[in-house]
């Protein structure tokens, strides 16, 4: 076909335009949840985010932020748009990859039908990936995965360009791309095995399985060299040089590192010169590739430079080679056993010292401690059930059916690996993309939620155990995408077709598929109960499968060819491929990937900050409680008087140092401890040792002891060292009521409500420097600045102060007020009513819930939390005799919040709202909500009743909540003379109680 190359290139650019348009139309216009708030904030001001950083992404993000032209509200939009462009370009390179591989099936001079078939395969495969669930999700937000996947696509495409031309400049280019990609994400390293196989197949005259396995082994070694030797050990080498130059030679920090870099440059440069002089071509090529990997990797100088500048966000402070080595090695995340290690019930036997750790001192590097390898009494090969966290242990036992005192066998270990790590944490995600998805609900450990679903009723009935129609919680969920398994079948057809035509090409794609999917599973060795779905980690694997989907077009054409003319078979194959893969995926996935108009993360962050009084200190404890707030403050400059302290980072002495400095409009915090009291390796772990103290200890006195360097205030540890210890768990803080009034913590009229001292108990057996910093703030703040704690976080966040926390919006305020002994409400129901009412009615903006075309699970969770808080506020207003204010709050909820049940558990909020509306005599609203709740629960319970008894028992909590809500509504309706409704409720309850009594008891 004449002009094939020109047409092929034009269609590639056309697909870039189509994909970019799709992602732009569905792009989130502002910040979204998880790491996006941190990435946008770090990009905008070139700051240092969490390990291992993404310096290249930050630089590109900064470039795109300039398009905002000074409008900070548009910064997130433009950085999000960078992901749109990266993703569109990925689709373009995928198309060219498929057409390059498909072209190898035909002669150099393809006829018109063959050329059009190749193009059709490329179009279908590329568009299938365009609308794949996982890639689409990352394409419309500020995350590293769009840029990372682009590098993967470019590297794989470049491999094929090298294969065709045999021009080794492509290998140098690939090396540069790999080096650059390290500054975004390590995913493109996993294309190296495919590159080595292509190289082996091209260079070897006779391909054998032994030779293929050797090439595969070499590929694994190369990946290890790049990831471990280049990314980490080169930095460690620079650190060792710096240690010698600083501590031994007495030179300034960084001198040794610069000497190491210069020596490395000289060595590589001489090696290249030597290889040219001696005509050693392979050595020359290897050194050039190494040099260009290092050129790309040099983006990490940004992290060092910006850490040294001490920006507002400076996690781990990697301002020297030692801290950068730890930063790149993700040491804060702990070690995960891979080939050999402990079981979850193993006990520590001893430990072995493995090295010395260093920190940057005032003029020299100082020892910060020793690194250790802990030995355990129970170990096994290939450990997959290793985490000893209590909730993880119970999960292992439940998942594998183990008794409480039963140790896992190798069979159990492999069973968990296959069923959970492969089945639940990979195959489920794969099926989401190419078979169908049940809902968008988080599915960690729950076989019902977040699982795959094909839409083929007999097939789904096997997994679900029911032939009944799915309930509203599934059918009305926008994440309910049924693909009937057609994209999967087309991919399998393409795989079989390609295997028959070209086994080597099939093996290359399969290698990419394996290394970007199952190999990641092997390497991550994930523990259970992940905080979020992890499908984004396997996006490269789904990329590889879409290549097979493209070849599915040629498979269909081949099947049709004996029965229809070539042109017709091609048209039918192309149209069939377009319909059953990309078109179906686009139609099903558009509604739950359309984030246009969605501002819920940004609005929530602003509402959260506006819940706090001026100059507040806000303790948070998770990504979604912290990163959107950072975005609001660092980018848009909203409420920068509030100091947001993430407790996950407070255990780092560098982070505490930042708190002692002015940040934006927030003054330095009242932390009096000297830096040497909490620096790296000091007071990381302070154990509780019963000292026989029965009374509560004044917090100031305890802090003095905990930070004392006197030997008499310490206890000897097993290794012979002396460390501080916690002598009591009962603490108190004396309160000056006059000071509370003076600082506007309470009103003068409420002075009598203040306690003389706050008393609480520590509910753990050790504390760390994060606790010390919090104690320091509590003691020396003297109520000058309001102190708040995040909601919906782990109980540890509150350090035992729960009874003194009062809800004022989205945050709890610490108030030393007396509590009524008769008040049996739990912490979540106690409000600082007057303040919270003012905040809710005058400072909260909920418009994002209505403007969003799709509310993701995080947004719905916030809506549910908001709804619950409003119910609590209205209830407390009623108790205080303020019914008009209570009605105003409830009407605001009904008008501005999405009061919809997405699950049976949501009906608890609806029940409370119905009760409040009845109490406030708003019968029309109460009856409307009661009828809607009855209809929803009836269909949900009807579906559960159709399940097998064993599956019903798994849903026992839903059954209990559903019946409990119906029973409660029956009583409320009866009390409010809504007898018809009451009768209908009672009838349903009796019917379902009789059904479930037989099946679940």
Query: pLDDT digits over 5-34, tens only?
Result: 999 999 999 999 999 999 999 999 999 999
Q: Examine the pLDDT at 66 and tell me if it is beyond 90.
A: yes
In a domain, 466, yes or no: no
Checking DSSP bridges between strand 379-381 and strand 787-790, what pairing results, if any? Answer: unpaired
* 790 and 869 co-located in one domain: yes
- Return d(Cα 897, Cα 522) in angstroms, integer: 43
Arithmetic mean of pLDDT over the chain: 91
Count of domains forming the chain:
4
- Return d(Cα 185, Cα 83) in angstroms, integer: 14
Q: Choose between 498 and 355: higher pLDDT.
A: 498
Nearest Cα neighbor of 27 from 91, 85, 93 is 85
Q: What share of the chain is helix, strand, coil (3-state, %, to 5)?
A: 60, 10, 30
Q: Examine the pLDDT at 444 and tell me if it is beyond 60.
A: no
Nearest Cα neighbor of 524 from 447, 428, 425, 444 is 425
Confidence of residue 828 (pLDDT cuts 50, 70, 90): low
Of 241-250, 691-700, 708-717, 981-990, which gets the smallest average pLDDT? 708-717
Q: Examine the pLDDT at 720 and tell me if it is beyond 70.
A: no
Instruction: Give the Cβ contact number of residue 9 at 10 Å.
Output: 13
Confidence of residue 797 (pLDDT cuts 50, 70, 90): confident
pLDDT tens profile 829-850: 789 999 999 999 999 999 999 9
Nearest Cα neighbor of 2 from 110, 91, 155 is 110
- Please state, in angstroms and as integers, the Cα–Cα distance from residue 844 to each residue in 679, 807, 875, following that order: 40, 14, 19
Q: Are 617 and 777 in contact (CB under 8 A)?
A: yes
* 757 and 641 co-located in one domain: yes
Given 563, 593, 623, the domain boundary residue is 593
Confidence of residue 955 (pLDDT cuts 50, 70, 90): confident
pLDDT tens profile 846-892: 999 999 999 999 999 999 999 999 999 999 999 999 999 999 999 99
Q: Examine the pLDDT at 575 and tell me if it is beyond 70.
A: yes
And the tokens for 118? 């190749």
Q: Please state the pTM of the whole predicted model.
A: 0.93
In a domain, 141, yes or no: yes
Tallying the residues shown for the chain, one arrives at 1001
Nearest Cα neighbor of 78 from 149, 35, 142, 20 is 142
* 358 and 212 co-located in one domain: no
Q: Examine the pLDDT at 826 and tell me if it is beyond 70.
A: no
Of 457-461, 847-851, 918-922, which gets the smallest average pLDDT? 457-461
* 26 and 163 co-located in one domain: yes
Confidence of residue 719 (pLDDT cuts 50, 70, 90): low
In a domain, 627, yes or no: yes
DSSP string, 2-22: TTHHHHHHHHHHHHHHHHHHH
Percentage of the chain exceeding pLDDT 90: 69
Average pLDDT (785-793) is: 90
Q: Examine the pLDDT at 447 and tell me if it is beyond 60.
A: no
In a domain, 458, yes or no: no
Average pLDDT (229-236) is: 91
In a domain, 469, yes or no: no
- Return d(Cα 703, Cα 936) in angstroms, integer: 54
pLDDT at position 999 is: 73
Confidence of residue 130 (pLDDT cuts 50, 70, 90): very high
Q: Are 487 and 580 in contact (CB under 8 A)?
A: yes
Q: Examine the pLDDT at 151 and tell me if it is beyond 90.
A: yes
- Return d(Cα 168, Cα 202) in angstroms, integer: 13
Percentage of the chain exceeding pLDDT 70: 98
CA 461 to chain centre: 32
pLDDT tens profile 313-371: 999 999 999 999 999 987 777 778 889 999 998 998 878 888 888 999 889 999 888 88
pLDDT at position 842 is: 94
pLDDT at position 280 is: 94
pLDDT at position 824 is: 60
Nearest Cα neighbor of 183 from 156, 146, 219, 148 is 148
pLDDT at position 712 is: 82
pLDDT at position 482 is: 94
* 711 and 822 co-located in one domain: yes
* 605 and 578 co-located in one domain: no
Given 865, 895, 925, the domain boundary residue is 895
Which residue range(s) make up the domain with 987?
Answer: 901-1001
* 887 and 917 co-located in one domain: no
Given 366, 390, 405, the domain boundary residue is 405
H, E, C per residue of 469-529: CCCHHHHCCCCCEECCCHHHHHHHHHHHHHHHHCHHHHHHHHHHHHHCCHHHHHHHCCCCC
Q: Examine the pLDDT at 182 and tell me if it is beyond 90.
A: yes
Confidence of residue 236 (pLDDT cuts 50, 70, 90): very high
* 914 and 887 co-located in one domain: no
> Within 13 A of 70's CA, how many CA atoms are on the CB side?
0
In a domain, 820, yes or no: yes
Average pLDDT (892-907) is: 87
Checking DSSP bridges between strand 722-724 and strand 365-376, what pairing results, if any? Answer: unpaired
pLDDT at position 350 is: 79
* 731 and 865 co-located in one domain: yes
pLDDT tens profile 71-91: 999 999 999 999 999 999 999
* 803 and 674 co-located in one domain: yes
And the tokens for 823? 């008040």
In a domain, 650, yes or no: yes
Q: Are 366 and 676 in contact (CB under 8 A)?
A: no
pLDDT tens profile 394-438: 999 989 989 888 999 999 999 999 999 999 999 999 999 999 999
pLDDT at position 954 is: 83
* 805 and 937 co-located in one domain: no
Nearest Cα neighbor of 306 from 296, 316, 295, 294 is 316
- Return d(Cα 282, Cα 280) in angstroms, integer: 6
Which sign does the torsion angle of CA 341, 344, 349, 352 carry?
Answer: positive
Nearest Cα neighbor of 867 from 845, 843, 889 is 889
* 173 and 281 co-located in one domain: yes
pLDDT at position 448 is: 58
> Within 13 A of 38's CA, how many CA atoms are on the CB side?
21
Average pLDDT (931-958) is: 89
In a domain, 956, yes or no: yes
pLDDT at position 458 is: 84
pLDDT tens profile 678-703: 988 888 889 998 888 888 999 999 99
- Return d(Cα 200, Cα 189) in angstroms, integer: 18
């Amino acid at each position: 076909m004449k002009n094939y190359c020109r047409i092929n290139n034009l269609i590639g650019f056309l697909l870039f335009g189509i994909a970019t348009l799709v992602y732009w139309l569905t792009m989130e216009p502002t910040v979204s949840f998880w790491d996006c708030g941190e990435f946008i904030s770090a990009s905008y001001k070139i700051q240092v985010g969490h390990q291992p950083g993404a310096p290249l992404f930050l630089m590109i993000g900064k470039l795109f932020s300039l398009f905002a032209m000074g409008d900070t509200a548009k910064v997130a939009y433009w950085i999000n748009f960078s992901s749109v462009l990266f993703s569109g370009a990925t689709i373009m390179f995928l198309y060219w990859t498929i057409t390059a591989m498909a072209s190898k099936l035909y002669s150099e001079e393809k006829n018109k039908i063959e050329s059009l078939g190749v193009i059709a395969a490329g179009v279908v495969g590329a568009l299938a990936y365009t609308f794949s669930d996982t890639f689409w999700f990352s394409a419309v937000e500020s995350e590293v995965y769009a840029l990372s996947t682009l590098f993967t696509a470019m590297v794989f495409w470049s491999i094929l360009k090298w294969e065709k031309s045999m021009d080794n400049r492509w290998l140098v280019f690939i090396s540069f791309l790999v080096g650059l990609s390290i500054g975004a994400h390590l995913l493109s390293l996993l294309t190296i095995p495919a590159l080595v196989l292509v190289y082996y197949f091209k260079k070897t005259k006779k391909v054998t399985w032994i030779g293929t396995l050797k090439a595969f082994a070499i590929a694994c070694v190369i990946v290890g060299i790049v990831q471990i030797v280049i990314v980490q050990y080169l930095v460690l080498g620079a650190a060792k040089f710096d240690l010698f130059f600083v501590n031994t030679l007495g030179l300034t920090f960084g001198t040794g590192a610069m000497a190491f870099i210069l020596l490395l440059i000289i060595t590589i440069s001489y090696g290249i010169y030597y290889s040219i002089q001696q005509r050693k071509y392979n050595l020359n090529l290897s050194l050039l590739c190494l040099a260009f990997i290092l050129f790309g990797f040099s983006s990490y100088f940004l992290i060092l430079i910006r850490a040294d500048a001490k920006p507002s966000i400076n996690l781990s402070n990697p301002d020297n080679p030692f801290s950068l080595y730890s930063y790149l090695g993700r040491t804060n995340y702990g070690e995960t056993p891979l080939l050999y290690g402990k079981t979850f019930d193993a006990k520590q036997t001893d430990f072995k010292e493995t090295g010395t750790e260093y920190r940057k001192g005032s003029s020299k590097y100082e020892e910060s401690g020793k690194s250790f390898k802990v030995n355990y009494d129970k170990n096994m090969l290939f450990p997959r059930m290793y985490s000893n966290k209590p909730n993880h242990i119970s999960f292992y036992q439940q998942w594998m059916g183990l008794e409480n005192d039963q140790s896992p066998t190798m069979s159990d270990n492999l069973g968990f690996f296959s069923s959970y790590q492969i089945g639940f944490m990979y195959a489920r995600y794969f099926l989401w993309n190419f078979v169908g998805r049940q809902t968008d609900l988080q599915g960690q450990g729950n076989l019902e939620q977040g699982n795959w679903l094909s839409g083929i009723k007999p097939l789904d009935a096997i997994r679900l155990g029911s032939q009944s129609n799915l309930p509203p919680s599934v059918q009305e969920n926008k994440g309910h995408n049924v693909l009937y398994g057609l994209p999967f079948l087309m991919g399998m057809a393409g795989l079989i077709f390609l295997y028959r035509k070209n086994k080597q090409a099939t093996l290359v794609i399969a290698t990419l598929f394996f290394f970007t999917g199952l190999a990641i599973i092997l390497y991550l060795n994930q523990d259970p109960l992940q905080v979020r779905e992890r499908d984004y980690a396997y996006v490269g694997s789904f990329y590889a499968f879409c290549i097979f989907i493209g070849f599915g077009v040629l498979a269909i054409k081949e099947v049709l060819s004996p029965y229809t003319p070539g042109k017709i078979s091609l048209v039918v194959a192309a149209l069939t491929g377009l319909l059953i893969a990309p078109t179906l995926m686009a139609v099903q996935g558009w509604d739950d990937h359309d984030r246009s108009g969605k501002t819920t993360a940004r609005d929530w962050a602003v509402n959260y900050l506006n819940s706090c009084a001026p100059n507040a200190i806000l303790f948070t404890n998770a990504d979604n409680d912290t990163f959107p707030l950072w975005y609001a403050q660092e980018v848009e400059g909203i409420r920068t008087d509030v100091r947001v302290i993430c407790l996950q980072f407070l255990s780092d002495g560098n982070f505490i140092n930042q708190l002692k400095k002015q940040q934006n409009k927030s003054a330095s915090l009242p932390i009096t401890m000297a830096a040497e009291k909490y620096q790296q390796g000091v007071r990381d772990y302070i154990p509780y040792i019963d000292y026989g103290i029965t009374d509560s200890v004044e917090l100031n006195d305890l802090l003095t002891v905990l930070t004392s360097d006197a030997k008499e205030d310490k206890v000897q540890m097993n290794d012979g060292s002396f460390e501080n210890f916690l002598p009591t768990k009962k603490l108190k803080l004396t309160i000056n009521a006059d000071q509370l009034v003076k600082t506007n913590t309470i009103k003068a009229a409420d002075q009598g409500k203040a306690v003389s001292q706050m008393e609480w108990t520590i509910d753990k057996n050790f504390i760390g420097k994060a606790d010390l910093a919090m104690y320091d703030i509590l003691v020396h703040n003297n109520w000058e600045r309001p102190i708040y704690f995040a909601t919906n976080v782990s109980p540890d966040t509150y350090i035992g102060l729960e009874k003194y926390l009062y809800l004022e919006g989205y945050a709890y305020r610490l108030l030393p007020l007396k509590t009524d002994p008769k008040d049996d409400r739990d912490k979540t129901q106690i409000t600082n009513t007057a303040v919270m009412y003012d905040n809710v009615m005058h400072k909260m903006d909920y418009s994002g819930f209505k403007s969003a075309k799709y509310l993701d699970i995080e947004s719905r969770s916030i809506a549910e939390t908001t709804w619950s808080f409003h119910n609590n506020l209205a209830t407390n207003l009623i108790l205080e005799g303020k019914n008009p204010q209570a009605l105003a709050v409830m009407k605001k909820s009904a008008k501005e919040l999405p009061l919809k049940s997405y699950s049976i558990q949501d009906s608890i909020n609806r029940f409370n709202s119905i009760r409040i509306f009845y109490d406030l005599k708003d019968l029309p609203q109460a009856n409307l909500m009661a009828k809607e709740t009855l209809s929803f629960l009836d269909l949900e319970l009807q579906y559960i009743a159709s399940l097998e008894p064993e599956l019903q028992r798994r849903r026992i909590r839903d059954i209990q909540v559903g019946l409990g809500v119906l029973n409660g509504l029956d009583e409320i309706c009866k009390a409010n003379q809504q007898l018809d409704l009451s009768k209908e409720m009672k009838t349903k309850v009796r019917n379902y109680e009789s059904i479930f009594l037989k099946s679940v008891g």
